C-alpha cells in the first residue's frame, strides 16, 4: 500500500509540475518542433520510468533487435494500465499510442499525449474510429510510429487467452505501408490489477516479435492480419509464461 501511495503522489506532483514544463516546451517548439517532440518524449519517459521503479518492476526485454529503423505499427496484448508505461519507456523514436477517449478528461496528461501524437478512440463511434485510423496513417507517413492494443480493452480473463483482435485497426499498416511488430507482455496485471490498490514487485517480460510487412502478403492474408498477430502473440506469451 505504501508503494502505491508513493507512486500516486509522484504522479500527481508530475502532472502539476507539467504546467511549468508545458511553457518550457512551448518555447522550445518556437525554436524547433523536432526538439520539442523529443524533449517531450524524454520528459514523459522519465516520469514513467520513475513510476515503474517505484512500483518495483523487474523487466526482461526480448527481441529488441526486431524493432525496425522506420515508423512501424506496434500491436500488443493488454492486461494492465502499466502496459503503456512499460512500452513507452522503450521507445527510441516518436511513438503515439491509441488510448480510450476517457483519458482526455485528465488535463495535463491529455496535453502530454497530444504533444506525443497519441490518439483517442471513441469505441461507440465508428465514424470517429475511421477518423482516428486516417490520422494514425498520416502520423506514420510523418515518421511517427503508432502502438495499438487490438483487443480493444483490457483483457481481464486468462492471460494465455487473448480477446479477439479487431481487424480494422490493421488498416493503419496496410494503408501506410509500414511494418507491423507483434509485442507480447507477460504478467503485467500482477503489478496492480490483480490486487488493487496494492503495487507489488513484479517480473514482467516484454518481447518484440519479427516484423510483418503487409506488402509481402497476399490480399487474403492482409485481411486476416489481426488473427495472425494474435496467434503470434499468444504463442509467445505461452512460451514466456514459465519465465516470470
* Integer angstrom CA distances of residue 185 from 39, 95, 102, 145, 158: 27, 18, 24, 19, 13
Helices 2-31 and 33-55: crossing angle in degrees, nearest 10, is 170
> What pLDDT was estimated at residue 1?
82
Q: Which domains does the chain have, with CATH numbers?
A: 59-243 (3.40.1130.10)
- First-to-final CA distance of the chain: 23
Phi, psi at 116, each rounded to 5°: -100, 20
DSSP state of 200: -
Q: What percent of the chain has pLDDT over 70?
A: 100
- 140-192 tens-digit pLDDT: 999 999 999 998 888 887 777 899 998 888 999 999 999 999 999 999 999 99
- 99-128 tens-digit pLDDT: 887 887 888 999 999 999 999 887 777 787
From edge to edge, which strands make up the β-sheet containing 119-121? 57-62, 202-208, 180-186, 73-76, 145-148, 95-100, 119-121
| Rounded-to-integer distance, Cα 59 and Cα 201, Å | 10
Mean pLDDT for all residues in the chain: 92
User: Mean per-residue pLDDT for 232-240?
Assistant: 95
User: Mean per-residue pLDDT for 223-243?
Assistant: 93
230 has a pLDDT exceeding 80: yes
Name residue 119's beta-bridge partners: 98
Amino acid at each position: 500500500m505504501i508503494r502505491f501511495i508513493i507512486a500516486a503522489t509522484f504522479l500527481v506532483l508530475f502532472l502539476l509540475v507539467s504546467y511549468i514544463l508545458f511553457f518550457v516546451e512551448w518555447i522550445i517548439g518556437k525554436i524547433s518542433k523536432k526538439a520539442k517532440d523529443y524533449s517531450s518524449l524524454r520528459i514523459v519517459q522519465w516520469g514513467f520510468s520513475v513510476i515503474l521503479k517505484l512500483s518495483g518492476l523487474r523487466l526482461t526485454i526480448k527481441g529488441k533487435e526486431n524493432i525496425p529503423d522506420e515508423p512501424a505499427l506496434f500491436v500488443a496484448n493488454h492486461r494492465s494500465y502499466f502496459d503503456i508505461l512499460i512500452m513507452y519507456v522503450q521507445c527510441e523514436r516518436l511513438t503515439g499510442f491509441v488510448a480510450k477517449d476517457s483519458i482526455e478528461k485528465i488535463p495535463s496528461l491529455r496535453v502530454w499525449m497530444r504533444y506525443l501524437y497519441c490518439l483517442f478512440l471513441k469505441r461507440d463511434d465508428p465514424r470517429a474510429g475511421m477518423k482516428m485510423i486516417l490520422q494514425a496513417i498520416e502520423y506514420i507517413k510523418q515518421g511517427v510510429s503508432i502502438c495499438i492494443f487490438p483487443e480493444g480493452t483490457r483483457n481481464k480473463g486468462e492471460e494465455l487467452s487473448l480477446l479477439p483482435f479487431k481487424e480494422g485497426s490493421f488498416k493503419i499498416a496496410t494503408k501506410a505501408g509500414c511494418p507491423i511488430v507483434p509485442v507480447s507482455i507477460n504478467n503485467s496485471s500482477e503489478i496492480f490489477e490483480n490486487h488493487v490498490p496494492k503495487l507489488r514487485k513484479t517480473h514482467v517480460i516484454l518481447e518484440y516479435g519479427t516484423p510483418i510487412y503487409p506488402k509481402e502478403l497476399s490480399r487474403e492474408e492482409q485481411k486476416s492480419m489481426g488473427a495472425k498477430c494474435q496467434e503470434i502473440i499468444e504463442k509467445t506469451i505461452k512460451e514466456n509464461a514459465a519465465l516470470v
